[in-house]
Structure 1
Amino acid sequence: MALIQCDFFSEALGLNTSMNVILPQTTYSQIGMDTRSSEGKHRTLLLLHGLSDDHTIWLRRTSIERYVAPLGIAVVMPAVSRSFYTNMVSGMDYWTFISEELPVLARSFFPLSDRREDNYVAGLSMGGYGAFKLALSHPDRYAAAASLSGALDLSSLYTERSKDFDLIYGSPDQLKGSPNDLMKLATDVAGHTKPPQLFQCCGTEDFLYADNQRFRSHAESLNLPLSYEEEPGSHEWGYWDHKIQRVLEWLPIHEADKA
């Protein structure tokens, strides 16, 4: 695998920012690694960080590079600060950055496929929200999305996170029912001819467990293609290191092989 840190200027944000990228590489003599690459442009997993972290965290807290090596997919890990992947009321346009600018830039830097069936998004906590937001907002761009302990019902979190959320969304009324509300996005995408496949997991001791239950019930009532898993666990990296391996098993990579 090739690991690259990119520092680049974002027009959407008006500043320099960073992302880490894992690229497939076929090797035959690298000790302890089973690697695979592919001809042409690579399938891509956009992997999103949580509220207190940045683009380096998945590499620091998990073995994501080793886990994806035999799959032959690229992984793009951007930095979005504490933005909740949103164009902030009092801040920068992180939604424009993550949804519009970043895919174009990443594909201009590296040989990444732009086909829907080759693109997936996943994240933890705030990143779980971002992953579902991207896939539900753009079902024509992402074949699958995974949320690990995601913050999926922000209206219920608003009072607890009002210091952050006032800067991002403005007020609870401005959030609820808006394009930043996953409940609304799920309802909207239910009528799409080909909604993205969704994977959702949360530990039963996680403080976001009840929020995950609410989103699960809503998605299931809409008959969205949702795979749901729960087990004992809390909001911590041991759980996420375990579950990102499960996400990689679940991704429709073999379906892309047949396309």
Structure 2
Amino acid sequence: MALLNVDFHSYYLGMDSPLTVLLPEKRGRKPEAAPDKKYPVLYLLHGHADDNTAWIRKSDLELLVRDHDVIVVMPSAHRSFYTNGKYGHLYFDYITKELPIVVSNFFPASTRREDTFIGGLSMGGYGALKAALSCPEQYAGVAAMSAANSPFEAMKAAGTMFSVSDFMDNVYHIFGDEEEYKGSKDDLEYLAKQTAASTVPKPKIYHSCGQQDPLYSLNVEFKQFMETNCPDLDYHYCECEGNHNWGFWNPQLKCILEYFGLIPASQEKSGT
């Protein structure tokens, strides 16, 4: 893969913003012109306190997609929960409205829904689910690992996992108070029911969590909600041994790429 670090001016954020991008590259082969070739796109969203470089520095992503025809786009969203903050920047609009246009303008990226996927871990798992459930017409699939499905409940469940001193204040600055959050366009359960009841195409959903993760019970509750209230959604849940770390996310990343058909499926499975 070719690795690019891109800085561009974001209209929705009103500032320069970085992207880390992997582009298909046939290593060891003579280059051939393919001006009309368009590739599927996977947007990968980082977790709280990470940035756009996390997937490259901490995972096997580049090795997994090497020699495969997929573009991987990794934006930075700071600690925004990929949301238009009540007292903050328009990160949801940045992810769902701006990036698809910017990416297709900059790179040989397909703009077809069936070629567009989004995934993330922890805070990025929430962001990926929010994007796909809010804009199901844009994404063929969404993957969420160890998701902070409800930021307020995640605060309570995580204990000392989020050591940033102003973590709670930041959540309130983004979402307002907890009562404002419930049943709003930021509430994943509300969005899932809205998507299930709609007539638009619905994304495949891959959801996973490690059994030793501080957010495990929160993810199990979301699984139960989805299976009970949204049986018509194409929803797959996976759990296995693992904590809130790259030891769990790395093998799951491989499963996600296979699940969406972005790399060939192997015979190995990482959970049920």
TM-score (normalised: structure 1): 0.91
Residues 27-61 of structure 1, C-alpha deviation per residue, up to 9 Å, x if partnerless? 2369xxxxxx9961110000010001000000000
Residues 68-104 of structure 1, C-alpha deviation per residue, up to 9 Å, x if partnerless? 1243100000000000000111111111111111111
Is the deviation greater in 245-254 or in 185-194? 245-254
Q: 1:93 aligns with which of 90, 94, 103?
A: 90
Task: Check conservation: 1:202, 1:229, Cα contact below 8 A.
Answer: yes
Distance in 2 (CA, whole Å) between partners of 1:103 and 1:52 is 24
Q: How does 1:9-158 map to 2 (within 5 A)?
A: 9-28=9-28, 40-157=37-154
Q: 2:222 aligns with which of 189, 192, 215?
A: 215
Could you say what secondary structure the match of 1:3 adopts? strand
> Cα distance 1:60–1:174, how it changes in 2: closer, same or farther (>3 A)?
same
Q: Confirm or deny that 1:189 pairs with 2:186.
A: no
**Which residue is 1:4 aligned to?**
4
**Which residue is 2:269 aligned to?**
none
> 1:171 is matched by which residue type in structure 2?
D
CA deviation after TM superposition for structure 1 residue 155, in Å: 4.0
**Which residue is 2:184 aligned to?**
178
Distance in 2 (CA, whole Å) between partners of 1:88 and 1:203 is 29
Return 5+ residue gaps in structure 1 as ranges: 31-36, 255-259
CA deviation after TM superposition for structure 1 residue 106, in Å: 1.2
Q: 1:246 aligns with which of 246, 249, 255?
A: 255
**Which residue is 1:199 aligned to?**
206
**Which residue is 1:33 aligned to?**
none
Residues 166-213 of structure 1, C-alpha deviation per residue, up to 9 Å, x if partnerless? 110111111111111101011101123431100011001101111111
Distance in 2 (CA, whole Å) between partners of 1:234 and 1:74 is 28
Could you say what secondary structure the match of 1:105 adopts? helix
> 1:13 is matched by which residue type in structure 2?
L
Could you say what secondary structure the match of 1:55 adopts? coil
Distance in 2 (CA, whole Å) between partners of 1:253 and 1:94 is 26
Distance in 2 (CA, whole Å) between partners of 1:39 and 1:124 is 33
> Cα distance 1:215–1:11, how it changes in 2: closer, same or farther (>3 A)?
same
Distance in 1 (CA, whole Å) between partners of 2:262 and 2:65 is 11
Task: Check conservation: 1:46, 1:121, Cα contact below 8 A.
Answer: yes
Is the deviation greater in 153-162 or in 140-149? 153-162
Q: Percent identity?
A: 39
CA deviation after TM superposition for structure 1 residue 214, in Å: 1.1
CA deviation after TM superposition for structure 1 residue 253, in Å: 4.3
Task: Check conservation: 2:69, 2:262, Cα contact below 8 A.
Answer: no
Distance in 1 (CA, whole Å) between partners of 2:24 and 2:261 is 17
> 1:249 is matched by which residue type in structure 2?
E
Residues 5-43 of structure 1, C-alpha deviation per residue, up to 9 Å, x if partnerless? 00111111111110100001122369xxxxxx9961110
Q: 2:245 aligns with which of 228, 232, 236?
A: 236
Could you say what secondary structure the match of 1:190 adopts? helix
Is the deviation greater in 43-52 or in 98-107? 98-107
CA deviation after TM superposition for structure 1 residue 242, in Å: 1.3
TM-score (normalised: structure 2): 0.87
**Which residue is 1:165 aligned to?**
171
CA deviation after TM superposition for structure 1 residue 142, in Å: 0.3
> 1:26 is matched by which residue type in structure 2?
K
Distance in 2 (CA, whole Å) between partners of 1:65 and 1:38 is 24
Return 5+ residue gaps in structure 2 as ranges: 160-166, 264-272
